[in-house]
Every structure is written in structure tokens, then in C-alpha cells.
Amino acid sequence: MTCALWAGVSLALGVAALPVAAATLPQSMSQGGLVTAIVPAGSSATVNGKPVRIGDDGMLVFGAGRDEKGPVVVVVTYPDGHRDTSRVAVTPRAWPVERVNGVPPKTVNPPPDIAARIQREQAEVAVARKRDDNREGFVHGFIWPVVGRISGRFGSQRIFNGTPKSPHPGMDIAVPEGTPVKAPADGVVTFAKPDLYLTGGTVLIDHGFGLSSNFLHLSRLDVKVGQVLHQGDVIGAAGMTGRATGPHVHWGFNWFEVRLDPMLLPGIEGTSPH
């Protein structure tokens, strides 16, 4: 998505003309990208066949995963029953290979007796990501959670100690241990545990409409589940707990279970964390 789209979404507010959704949805989006748009209040919508929330103000949100080929098919049904179908093309990206060496071997190939624990922890996080409510914590854009050097990018194919693993599901920013980590946007804490096997100190912030941030490898947690956060509030401190080779903040971003690229978020895109 582009900043122009973000700025332009409110243009259609309250307009009940029929081709509104087609006009406010972008023609295309990037893999890993997020789209927010406004459709007439009282509409309903599906994205690739799945019903999605429409806010009281007509807010519609969806994302495209790393491997999404598109088009993303968005069907908006207006209050008068008229239906409008948009096909948003998805622009492919090239994903680099990232070799990460010096990772604790027990986190690359966890011992079998640990597998159940990892599965249980991932299931708990998955539950937190199902949350879908009408807070629009994302609507004013995002800020960098820390200032530092980008040490890992979303989507790169990762090879840990020579073993190929899943693509990197977020971005890494290298910072000294203990650096305060800030909430990038308003939200509610939906998960906060200090010691997950792979991700160490882990905090999830729900921004509404299925959008959530996750922060991993934290050395300290300053928040608890249910806590309401404002953009810039400190949630904890950077560290290297779990599968990490040095102190950094991993920032992951989701639309429900779909992982998106924080670098494409409004307020972040085109800027750097320095």
C-alpha cells in the first residue's frame, strides 16, 4: 500500500454511491502489505471468501501474506444489497537468504521432549491472534518500537547453523540489552510471558481488526494481559532470550494468522529506525 492510500481512505466516508469500494481499494498491494479502506457504514464484506469486520465508521482491513499470489478478492455488500467485487493484484517480492550462525543448537533442532512445550506455546499465541474487535489502534499509524540497526528483514529465507528453517516472520532491530521497547501503536496486551522456548520474553499487542504486533526475545516484561497501551508506552526491555544470537528486538505483525511486513506499515514505510 502507499501513504496516499492511507491518507485518502477517509475521502469516501459516508458516501453511499455504488462504486465506492472499487474507488478506495488499491489496484495492487505488496506481498506482506496491509490495506485499510473505508466503505459505507452498514456494509458487509468478505476477503478471499472470509467474512471480515466492518467498523461503525466503515473501516475495512486486510493483509497479503509473504507468499500470497493474489489477486485478493474483496466483495463488499452495501446496506442496500448491491454487491461490488474488487480484485487487488499482489506484487511479488524477492526474498533474500539469511544465514544465521551461532544459534543455540537446542533451539534449532529442539529435543523431542521439548516439542510438546513448543506446540503448546504456539497454540496459546495463535489463540491471542484470533481476537477481532472494533478498536482502531492502528488508525494513526505506527512508530518504531526502538532506535537501532535493522539486522533481519521480514520474509527472508533463514538458514540456522546450516539448517533451512521457516522464513523470518518479522523484522529484527539490533539494540543493546535492556533498551526500552515501545508500543508502536495503541492496543491491548493479549499475551505476555517471559520464557517461551523459541521466542523467550514474548508480548503481543492487539491493535484491533485482527491486527497485532508481537515482540520477542525480551529480557524484561513491563506489561500484563489486558493492559491498555497507548502508542509509545514501554512494554519491556530488549534482550536475547529464546532463539537469538545477540540482543535485538523482533517485531512481528499479523492480520489474524497472516504475517505481514512491519516495514510496510503506515508511519514506518520509507523511514528507518535510526
**Where along the sequence are the contacts to Zn ion (CB under 5 A)?**
152, 172, 250
Q: Which is nearer to Zn ion, 28 or 245 (CB)?
A: 245
Q: Which is nearer to Zn ion, 172 or 269 (CB)?
A: 172
Contacts of 70 (CB under 8 A, 6+ apart): 28, 29, 64, 87, 88, 89, 90
Residue of minimal CB distance from Zn ion? 250
Q: Is 124 helix (H, G, I), strand (E, B) or coil?
A: helix
Eight-class DSSP state of 71: P
d(CA 204, CA 171): 15
The b-or-e profile of 201-213 (16+ CB within 10 A means b, else e) is bbbbbbbbbbbbb
Q: Which is nearer to Zn ion, 66 or 250 (CB)?
A: 250
CB of 203 to Zn ion, least distance (A): 14
Contacts of 252 (CB under 8 A, 6+ apart): 169, 170, 171, 213, 214, 215, 216, 259, 262
- Alpha carbon distances (Å) from 24 to 4, 15, 27, 128, 211: 11, 11, 9, 30, 20
CB of 246 to Zn ion, least distance (A): 11
CB of 158 to Zn ion, least distance (A): 9
Q: Which is nearer to Zn ion, 55 or 182 (CB)?
A: 182
CB of 88 to Zn ion, least distance (A): 28
CB of 218 to Zn ion, least distance (A): 12
d(CA 43, CA 51): 11
Q: Do the beta carbons of residue 72 and residue 87 sit within 8 Å?
A: yes
CB of 1 to Zn ion, least distance (A): 23
Q: Which is nearer to Zn ion, 128 or 173 (CB)?
A: 173
Q: Which is nearer to Zn ion, 15 or 159 (CB)?
A: 159
Q: Which is nearer to Zn ion, 173 or 189 (CB)?
A: 173
The string of DSSP codes covering 154-211 is: TT-EEEETTEEEPPP-EEEEE--TT-EEE-SSSEEEEEEEEEETTTEEEEEEEEETTE
CB of 194 to Zn ion, least distance (A): 18
